């Protein structure tokens, strides 16, 4: 299993990050002077914590989210996001605890089901992962990451036709096409249809970010994996 292929999900908007980086210090100072703006500031601190995690500063990101959880112990989103960062940093049991807590607080939080399913998939509990992906899609039928991840999991179970169906349905939403083509191509390869695999790999390469793009780490990792897959396939085709 290629655990890095599973797409994690948070509850913040990435287009906030640039603004957050420029204003966080001001917001923290303002909090000391005006408690009435704490709700506004907390939302940006949540975004800043996720930005720190993107940059690999997991310790500081977790500390920020832990502070927010202390102040807002019933906020499922904070637990979900801290669980995501725990998972990224390799502390998987802490991640599972936070996902479970998030879902106790909000049993309808689709992103927490997707993230918990990623934990189960990475642990080899594929059937349990599928159940959580199903829940994520039931609560949010447009949850594109859950569709992709469910397809990957069906592929890992050797159910290639069902996996392809998931990827084709995911393409209908017009998002993350590069990820979908890459994973569908890998599925075609494992299924023995090398021509379709090559076509999908090449489609994916036209949309995935270049390897020097530090704003989309997941996309860059997938591009590197995809280039390896394509090289592997072309060398096999030539032999």
- What tens-digit pLDDT sequence spans the chain (239 residues)? 444 457 777 664 333 334 333 444 444 555 455 554 566 688 888 889 988 988 889 999 999 999 999 999 999 999 999 999 999 999 999 999 999 999 999 999 999 999 999 999 999 999 999 999 999 999 999 999 999 999 999 999 999 999 999 999 999 999 999 999 999 999 999 999 999 999 999 999 999 988 776 677 778 888 999 999 999 898 888 77
Burial class (CB in 10 A: 0-12, 13-18, 19+), 2: middle
pTM: 0.84
The reported pLDDT for the residue numbered 50 is 85
61 C-beta neighbours (distance < 10 Å), count: 25
Q: What residues have CB less than 8 Å from 81, skipping those under 6 apart? A: 10, 11, 12, 46, 49, 50, 65
How many Å apart are CA 125 and CA 118, to the nearest integer?
10
Do residues 84 and 115 make contact, with C-beta atoms less than 8 angstroms apart?
A: yes
- Phi and psi dihedrals of 211, rounded to 5? -70, -15
pLDDT for position 1: 40
Report the C-alpha gap between 21 and 37 in whole angstroms. 18
Both tokens of 58, joined, read 């997991």
Structure confidence at residue 174 (pLDDT): 96
Q: What is the spatial distance between Cα 49 and Cα 32, in angstroms, rounded to a whole number? A: 19
Alpha-carbon distance of 92 to 76, in angstroms, equals 18
Give the orientation angle of helix 194-205 with respect to helix 177-191, to 10 degrees.
160
pLDDT given at position 10: 66
pLDDT of residue 7: 72
CA 208 to chain centre: 15
Q: How many C-alpha atoms does 87 have within 13 Å on its Cβ side?
A: 30
Q: How many other CB atoms sit within 10 Å of the CB of residue 4?
A: 13
- CATH number attached to the domain at 1-106: 1.25.40.10
**If phi over 0 gives left and psi between -120 and 50 gives alpha, with beta otherwise, what is residue 192?**
left
pLDDT (0 to 100) of residue 29: 53
Cβ-based neighbour number of residue 237 at 10 Å: 11
Collapsing DSSP to helix, strand or coil, 40 comes out as: helix
Residue indicated by tokens 């949309």? 207
Structure confidence at residue 153 (pLDDT): 98
List the structure tokens of 162. Answer: 């069902």
42, 72 Cβ separation under 8 angstroms: yes
The pLDDT, as a whole number, for residue 24 is: 47
Return the half-sphere exposure (C-beta side, CA atoms, 13 A cut-off) of residue 199.
5
Q: What is the pLDDT of residue 15?
A: 37
């Amino acid at each position: 299993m290629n655990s890095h292929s599973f797409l994690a999900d948070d509850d913040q908007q990435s287009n906030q990050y640039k603004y957050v980086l420029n204003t966080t210090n001001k917001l923290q100072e303002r909090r000391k002077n005006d408690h009435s703006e704490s709700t506004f500031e907390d939302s940006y601190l949540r975004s800043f914590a996720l930005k720190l995690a993107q940059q690999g500063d997991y310790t500081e990101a977790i500390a920020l989210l832990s502070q927010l959880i202390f102040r807002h112990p019933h906020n499922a989103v904070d637990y979900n996001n801290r669980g995501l960062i725990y998972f990224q940093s390799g502390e998987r049991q802490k991640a599972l605890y936070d996902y479970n807590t998030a879902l106790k607080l909000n049993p309808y939080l689709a992103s927490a089901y997707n993230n918990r399913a990623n934990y189960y998939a990475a642990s080899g509990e594929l059937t349990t992962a599928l159940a959580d992906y199903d829940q994520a899609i039931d609560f949010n039928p447009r949850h594109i990451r859950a569709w992709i991840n469910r397809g990957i999991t069906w592929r890992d179970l050797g159910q290639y036709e069902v996996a392809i169906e998931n990827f084709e349905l995911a393409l209908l939403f017009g998002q993350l096409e590069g990820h979908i083509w890459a994973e569908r191509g890998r599925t075609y390869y494992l299924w023995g249809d090398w021509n379709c695999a090559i076509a999908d790999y090449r489609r994916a390469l036209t949309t995935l970010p270049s390897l020097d793009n530090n704003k989309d780490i997941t996309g860059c990792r997938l591009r590197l994996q995809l280039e390896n897959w394509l090289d592997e396939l072309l060398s096999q085709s030539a032999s």
